Amino acid sequence: MAKRIDVDDVNVYYGDFMAVEGASINIAPLSVTALIGPSGCGKSTFIRILNRMHEVIPEGRVSGKVMLDGEDLYGPGVDPVNVRRTVGMVFQKANPFPTMSIYDNVVAGYKIAGTRKNKSETDDIVERSLRGVNLWEEVKQRLTRPGAGLSGGQQQRLCIARAIAVEPSVLLMDEPCSALDPISTLAIEDLISELKATYTIVIVTHNMQQAARVSDRTAFFNLAGVGQPGRLVEYDDTTKIFSNPNEKATEDYISGRFG
C-alpha cells in the first residue's frame, strides 16, 4: 500500500514570500527519509506540501509538481481532504483531542469524518493501531479515559496511532520527538523502524543522530540568509550524507561547524 513520492522543482510561497525554492526529491516506497537543516530553512514547509497541509496557513501556495505514485497531488479536481487521507501527518507537539477519550482519539479519523463503523470494527482498529505504536499494553485498562491524561511520550504515540488508524500510504512526521525525553524518543525511533515495513515515512528532525539512526535517505535544506527562500542542498543515502557529503555546506552543518 505504501506509495512513492516524486517532487519536481517545487516552489512554495506564503503570500509574496517564497519559503522554498526549486526542491526536487524522489522518495521510494517503504523507506524512511529524514529532512534536516537549520531553523527556518523550509523543512516543515516542504513536508507540509506532501499532504497539502500548507494550505491551512493563509495564502500558502505551491508551483511545480508533487506526484504520489504518478498522481499529481495538485492536479485539477484533486481534493486536499482525500490527499490527507492518503498521506497522514504527526506533529511536533502531541495534540490529542482534549474532549475525547483515548479510544475516541484513535478512531478520531473515522469519528470526526462521520464514517460509520460498527463497534467490533472500531475495537479492532483501536487495538491494532495502539499495538502498532506499542501503547496497547500501557493503556488497554483505561481506554475510556481522556487522552490528555497520558504522559508526553504516550500522547505522541497516541497521535501516531491516530494517524495510522486511517490506514494512510505515507506518514509524515514533523519533529515528532523534539518535545520528548530520550526514553520516549527511543520508543518512537524503534516505532519508526517498525512502521517502515508498512508505510513510506518522511521525518523532519533537528537531531542529526536521530536522522542517522532512523533514516535510509537524508535531505539537507539550507537557506542563503534571512528572508531568502530555503533550498534543498543535498539529497543522498544517509550513510553518504553523514560520512562523505558532496557539498561543503552539508559537511559543515552535520559536523557542527555551521556558519
Partner 1 sequence: MSRPAPSAPAPATAGNSPAKRPTSGLVGARLPKWAPYGAAVVGWGIAVGLKLLLGWTGWYTTFFTGAVLFIAVLTAWSFSVEGRRRAKDRFASTLIYTSFVCAIVPLVLILGYIAVKGLPLFSPDFFLKSMIGVTSREEGGGIYAALVGTLIIVGIATVIALPIGIFTAIYLVEYGRGKFARTVTFFVDVMTGVPSIVAGLFVYTFLLLGFGMRPFGAAGAIALAILMVPVSVRASEEMLKLVPRDLREASYALGVPKWRTILKVVLPTAMSGLITASLLAVARVAGETAPLILLVGYTSRINYNPFDGDMATLPMMVWDQLGKRAGTTSSDLTEARAWGAALTLVLLVLILNVGARLIAKLFQPKAR
Figure out which of the listed residues 114, 182, 225, 259 binds partner 1, where binding follows CB under 8 A: 114
Figure out which of the listed residues 1, 28, 56, 224 binds partner 1, where binding follows CB under 8 A: 56
93 binds partner 1 (CB under 8 A): yes
176 binds partner 1 (CB under 8 A): no
Q: Are 34 and 28 in contact (CB under 8 A)?
A: no
> How many other CB atoms sit within 10 Å of the CB of residue 98?
9
Q: Burial level of 15, CB count in 10 A (0-12/13-18/19+)?
A: exposed
146 binds partner 1 (CB under 8 A): yes
128 binds partner 1 (CB under 8 A): no
111 binds partner 1 (CB under 8 A): yes
* Min CB(95)–partner 1 separation in Å: 4
* Min CB(161)–partner 1 separation in Å: 12
Residue 99 C-alpha cell reads as: 474532549
Side-chain half-sphere CA neighbours of 241 within 13 A: 27
82 binds partner 1 (CB under 8 A): yes
Q: Are 101 and 64 in contact (CB under 8 A)?
A: no
| Size of the residue set binding partner 1 (CB under 8 A) | 32
Figure out which of the listed residues 16, 58, 119, 182 binds partner 1, where binding follows CB under 8 A: 58
- For 39, list phi and psi in degrees, rounded to 5: -60, 140
Distance between CA atoms of 90 and 157, rounded to whole angstroms?
A: 9
Figure out which of the listed residues 20, 23, 50, 53 binds partner 1, where binding follows CB under 8 A: 53
Q: Which of 204, 101, 213, 116 is nearest to 158 (CA)?
A: 101
Figure out which of the listed residues 43, 84, 157, 213 binds partner 1, where binding follows CB under 8 A: 84
95 binds partner 1 (CB under 8 A): yes
Dmax (CA) for the chain in angstroms is: 57
In the complex, the residues that contact partner 1 under the rule CB under 8 A are: 51, 53, 56, 58, 81-86, 88-89, 91, 93, 95, 97-99, 108-109, 111-114, 145-146, 148-149, 159, 162-163, 166
